[in-house]
Amino acid sequence: MSDSAAVAVRERVARIVATRRDMPGALLPILHEIQDTVGYVPADALPEIARALNLSRAEVHGVVTFYHHFRDSKPGRHVVQVCRAEACQSVGSEALAAHAERALGCGFHETTADGEFTLEPVYCLGQCACGPAVMIDGRLAGRVTLQRFDALLKACADVTEDQEVQA
Ligand code: FES
């Protein structure tokens, strides 16, 4: 990350912390907003959050690492989440998860070498009756077959290409 990008991230984090620090139970809302805005929760934000909320660094670190949802590094351009909870497992999500790793060429919690896709496990997307469920860039898809998964990935790649053409 360039120095100016790092400064921009630090400023955003500082703004979020300043805005929310006095609300009750501020830690989770702060962490969520940082991740929604920056894409991840930078490790160097944790001491600042701890100071602002009068918590220890260990407490903040404990919360960040407890929830799978929070990332500690910048994700790829597209975030692919495959539900691996029980209801989805019972209708084939583990085969879909293995297919996702093969199709993307990376494991869970990893980003493809070209920086396009980050693959993440999730544990229920609230679509249990429509498994296997997947969320890509915040959009839900249910009853995802291996073929449909490939089509969803291709649609992401097409969006990226369109954006590059327009740039
Ligand atoms: S178990 Fe997959 S959406 Fe609920």
Model confidence pLDDT, tens digit, residues 69-118: 899 999 999 999 999 999 999 999 999 999 999 999 999 999 999 999 99
Q: 82 and 43, same structural domain?
A: no
Question: Both 85 and 137 in a single domain?
Answer: yes
Cis peptide bond prior to 29, omega within 30° of 0: no
Instruction: Kindly report the length of the chain.
Output: 167
The answer to whether 130 is annotated as binding is no
- 140 lies in some domain: yes
Q: One-letter amino acid identity for 83? A: C
pTM for the model stands at: 0.82
> Is 87 in the same domain as 36?
no
Ligand 1 site residues, Cβ closer than 6 angstroms: 83, 85-88, 124-128, 131, 133
Q: Does residue 113 sit in the same domain as residue 140?
A: yes
Q: How many domains does the chain have?
A: 2
Q: Does residue 71 form part of some domain? A: no
Listed in sequence order, the residues at least 6 apart from 123 whose beta carbon sits closer than 8 Å to its beta carbon are 68, 83, 84, 85
